[in-house]
Amino acid sequence: MAEFLTTNAIIYYTENIIKEARGELYILFPYLQLSREFYEALKESSDRNVPIIIVYANEDLHTEEKLKLSEIGNLEIYKYENLNAKCCCSDFSLLLGSMDFHQLALSDSLEMGILLNKLDDADLYKKIYNEIKLIIGSSKNMNLHKKAVEELVNPAVAVKKIYHGVCIKCAMPISYNLEKPYCRSCSPRDMAAETENSTGKYCHLCGVIHDNYQNSLLCDTCKKGIN
C-alpha cells in the first residue's frame, strides 16, 4: 500500500532504496549534483554490480566530481532537457517526491513524497516504471564520467585558477587548499604535522591514485598543468 512520507522519511527511504537495490536502480531529478552521502550510496550499489541509470535536466558538477562518478561501475548518465520529475526506483520500491535525491542528509526544507512497493502497489508501480523507461529511451546518453577522465588526463588542458580539489585520503570533493587537503571526516587533529608527512594517496587536484604522494599532494600530470 502506498505510503505518504515527509522530509526525514524521504531521506531514509531514498538511501534505503539505493543501498538495497539488487537488479536495477533508476534515479531521475532536474539537477545532477554530488554529495558525499549520495556518492557513497551509489558506490555501495555499484559494488553489488547493480546497473544504475541517472537521468537529469541540468548538471552542476565540477571536473573532479565527474571523475568521482567515473569510479562508479555500472553507471550510465542521461540528459532529458524538460525533466522536472523526481523519482528513485529500484527493483522492489519506488519513491516520488519533492526532494532532490542527492540530498541524503538532514534538511531544513519541508518535503513530501509517496513510497510504493512493487508487490503491494503493482499496477501503479508498473505505470511509473514504464514511464521511466520511456523517459530513458528519449534521453541522451551523456557519458559525463568518461569525459571527465579525458579532461583530467590530458596535460594540454591548462589549469588557470583552481577552486576545487579532492581529499587526499578518500578522494571526496572538497575545496582546493594545499594546506588543508582533507575532508572533515579525514582531517587529522594536527593539520600542520600531517600535511608535512602526508599519508594520503590521491592527487589533491584530480583525485587519481599516484605513487609519489609522500613527496607531493599532486600527481605529476597536475603539477605539469599548473606549472
Kindly state the average pLDDT of the residues 123-127: 96
Which CATH code of 3.40.50.920, 3.40.50.2000, 3.40.50.10490, 3.30.870.10 fits the domain covering 3-149? 3.30.870.10
Higher pLDDT, 40 or 197: 40
Which span out of 77-81, 152-156, 180-184, 216-220 was modeled with the highest average pLDDT?
A: 77-81
What are the C-alpha distances in Å from 149 to residues 51, 96, 140? 21, 33, 19
CA angle 30/28/176 to nearest 5° reads 65
CA nearest neighbour of 107 among 184, 7, 6, 36: 7
Three-class DSSP category at 151: helix
Three-class DSSP category at 89: strand
Lowest mean pLDDT among 111-125, 174-188, 213-227: 213-227
CA nearest neighbour of 177 among 187, 190, 164: 164
> Do the Cβ atoms of 37 and 105 come closer than 8 Å?
yes
Kindly state the average pLDDT of the residues 165-185: 80
pLDDT of 210 reads: 74
E strand spans, the chain:
3-6, 25-28, 31-32, 52-56, 58-59, 75-79, 87-90, 93-97, 112-117, 140-141, 164-166, 173-175
Q: Report whether pLDDT(58) > 70.
A: yes
- Helix or strand holding residue 144 (H, E): helix 144-153
Enter the C-alpha cell of residue 77: 548518465
Residue intervals of the chain classified under CATH 3.30.870.10 are 3-149
Q: Report whether pLDDT(57) > 90.
A: yes
Higher pLDDT, 178 or 86: 86
In the sheet that holds 112-117, the strands lie side by side as 3-6, 112-117, 93-97, 87-90, 25-28, 52-56, 75-79, 140-141
Band the pLDDT of 158: cuts 50, 70, 90.
very low
CA nearest neighbour of 176 among 159, 151, 155: 159
pLDDT of 190 reads: 60
